Structure 1
Amino acid sequence: MTSTRTSPVRRLAAALLTTVLLATGCGLNNGGSVPLPVSPGPAGTVPELEGVRITVGGKDFTEGVIASYLVEFLLAAAGMEVSDMSSLAGSNSFRQALVTGQVDIGMEYTGTAWMSYLGNSEPIRDPQGQWEAVRDADLAEHDLRWLPPTTVDNTYSFAMNRATAQETGVRTFSDYAELVHTDPQSAVTCMETEFSVRRDGWPGLAEAYGFEAAAVPTPIMQPGIIYQATSVGRECRFGEVYTTDGRVKGLDLVVLEDDQRFFPVYNLATVVRGEVLDAYPQIEDVLAPLVDLLTNEVMVEMNMRVDVDGEDPALVARDFLEQEGLVSVD
């Protein structure tokens, strides 16, 4: 997820990326190589993949970069010649690169694809149902193959510091709605501009939980400022956050439970071009361990190591795979 969700209008306005396909190989050769060396894990390389070129793409925010590196390292350890096109500027750039074939594979969020790329106005709040709907639509429209999703769900929520949690007793959005009913001025909630007007953001949240949005003071801030201000608790008693952002844990924020499941599901899953997967179906088996290993808790920890501790995202991703026995480091 980027710091803002990409709306359909912005998607249509995005500039198309230049498509320059090579005659051989399954990807472009205009990216760099994997950022750090890796060697095969106990399973060794995959003979059918040895020497095959593939381009991995991703988005330019912490979780997007880490996700790209996880895919890159696993494919490289399997024997593929990986070209790195992680850190593409925003969701639209990554999506367009994938659709046009400039990128062969990467990780994406189900909710982003469903609402921003495929143009649907209403989310499907059942995670499996959302993934299946995206899988079927992208297969039919673009021959993009969605592999089984992880349980990572980088969706919206509100957070508060420990003192506010103790003082108000708020733990769920239903509790938050009750606080708004009784004392709206004490529910000062900081948010981004886009969230404040999105149907799957502030207006829809107020409708779903039955409170008056206009009664709540809602300072508009940039994401980085929201996290810091919420941790202090003066300007922002509550703040809009993303559930797997490392700053949530790093700043010891308490995240509200979406007890009525209002927010869309943003499960992280691998997406690969159909012709690539048809030619090299072994790719799915190589990446399959990520489905069970990647959880919100795991992703928060990796994000925190980058955003709070200042570590290199490539090193964080490689460490994780090495600890899980999926790659080795000489």
Structure 2
Amino acid sequence: MKLFNKSAIVAAGAASLLVLSGCAAGGEGEVAEDPAPAGDDTAEETTESDAPATDLSGVSITVGSKDFDEQLILGYMLVEAFEAAGADVTDQVNLGGTSVAREALVSGAIDTYMEYNGTGWVTHLGNSDPSFDPDELTEGVRAQDLEENGIHWLNRAPFNNTYGFTSSPDATEANGGEPYSLQTMMEYVVDTPDAIVCMESEYPSRDDGLVLMEEATGLTIPEDQRLILDTGLIYTETAANNCDFGEVYTTDGRIAALDLTLVEDPGVNILYNVSVNLRDEVYSQAPEAFDSIVESMLSPLDNDRMAALNARVSAEGEDPRAVAADYLAQEGLLAE
């Protein structure tokens, strides 16, 4: 069983450097501690005072997630880290789509999952005109969701898993091997009646979906050129030239694995940085511990790191819980 490094970790900075209190660094991934002299009560008190920074003993928490690979990895990060910190964890990872996960959180069927700031602002809180500054957007969502629903948004990962499009090999070749922009992609689709754009079922109807691209470019994808597919099929069918363009998540590991070309986005699609959503009645039991664990977990996750983790599941077939545990071990949040 993997154990949380409770006595060593007190906080993570913006670069996820672990601050070790009362300890000297030992070998790689290890901490060398001077043993306390027998009867030295001061040393014992120091150890005990460090524990609350990461100790979730006595906390019961139900963890959920949405149903795609990135969310499975993120959900299992929470399960593994909270279990290692001493919490009694109920695993409800892989609940379903966005609306299912959010309803479970609001109703109390789960206590936590990871959600994206753009989704929170537009879909869950019903706002428009989201900020394109990640800190400003997250702070706006954080304040409103806490006041209206008692839900905390803890930390913010650097990676931005926004909507995007990839072009098929044939479509890329038709563009001279260069990436399309959203504008030139839409022009190609309109000028090429047999061009097919593959999308997930909810993307054309979401307020943060297709409408943003059509408004920005002034062009509309004809109905007979739209093909609705499951998420995973979009990547493989685009790589096989059965979709000229495929709607994707920009941190998905299958983009690089299938040698797909991302369409360049000048800032049309809104931001999707992830935070941990946590109900107030659970957060208030151990706020320092939750803040410390979550910051250590999310701060290193930039686009490249998240895409590499996603690729291990989506392209290489690894188990998402094993990938999550491996990442946490690398960051010092689980014992090797």
Report the TM range for the smaller structure's normalisation: 0.7 to 0.9
What is residue 251 of structure 1 aligned with on the other side?
Answer: 258
Do structure 1's residue 119 and structure 2's residue 84 form an aligned pair? no
- Distance change (3 Å), C-alpha of 1:85 and 1:225: closer
Do structure 1's residue 100 and structure 2's residue 107 form an aligned pair? yes
Structure 2 counterparts to residues 2-21 of structure 1, below 5 A: none
Do structure 1's residue 192 and structure 2's residue 200 form an aligned pair? yes
Contact 2:162–2:270 at 8 Å: present in 1 too? yes
- Distance change (3 Å), C-alpha of 1:286 and 1:88: same
Q: 2:181 aligns with which of 172, 187, 191?
A: 172
- Distance change (3 Å), C-alpha of 1:216 and 1:273: same
What is residue 295 of structure 2 aligned with on the other side?
Answer: 288
SS of residue paired to 2:179: coil
What is residue 232 of structure 2 aligned with on the other side?
Answer: 224
Structure 2 counterparts to residues 1-330 of structure 1, below 5 A: 37-41=1-5, 43=8, 46-47=51-52, 48-162=55-169, 164-168=171-175, 169-180=178-189, 183-185=191-193, 188-214=196-222, 217-233=225-241, 235-259=242-266, 261-281=267-287, 282-329=289-336
What is residue 42 of structure 2 aligned with on the other side?
Answer: none
**Any idea what the Cα deviations from partners look like across 1:120-155, whole Å, max 9, x if unmatched?**
354433322221221111111111111121122222
1:166 offset after TM fit, Å? 4.1
1:225 offset after TM fit, Å? 2.5
Greater Rg by CA: 2
1:327 offset after TM fit, Å? 0.8
**Any idea what the Cα deviations from partners look like across 1:189-235, whole Å, max 9, x if unmatched?**
222343234443334312202335339933333333321121012x3
Contact 1:185–1:215 at 8 Å: present in 2 too? no
SS of residue paired to 1:132: helix
Contact 2:151–2:277 at 8 Å: present in 1 too? yes
Gaps of 5+ in 2: 10-49
- Distance change (3 Å), C-alpha of 1:102 and 1:179: closer
Q: How many matched pairs?
A: 290
**Any idea what the Cα deviations from partners look like across 1:164-188, whole Å, max 9, x if unmatched?**
334303342233245457x444754
Percent of residue pairs bearing the same amino acid type: 39
One-letter amino acid matched to 1:256: V
More deviation, 39-48/283-292:
39-48
Gaps of 5+ in 1: 1-36
Contact 1:69–1:314 at 8 Å: present in 2 too? yes
Q: Distance in 2 between matches of 1:216 and 1:100?
A: 39
SS of residue paired to 2:275: strand
SS of residue paired to 1:54: strand
One-letter amino acid matched to 1:173: L
One-letter amino acid matched to 2:94: S
One-letter amino acid matched to 2:77: L
One-letter amino acid matched to 2:225: P
Contact 2:168–2:239 at 8 Å: present in 1 too? yes
One-letter amino acid matched to 1:43: A
SS of residue paired to 1:40: coil
SS of residue paired to 1:57: strand
- Distance change (3 Å), C-alpha of 1:184 and 1:126: farther
Return the TM-score normalized by structure 1.
0.78
SS of residue paired to 2:202: helix
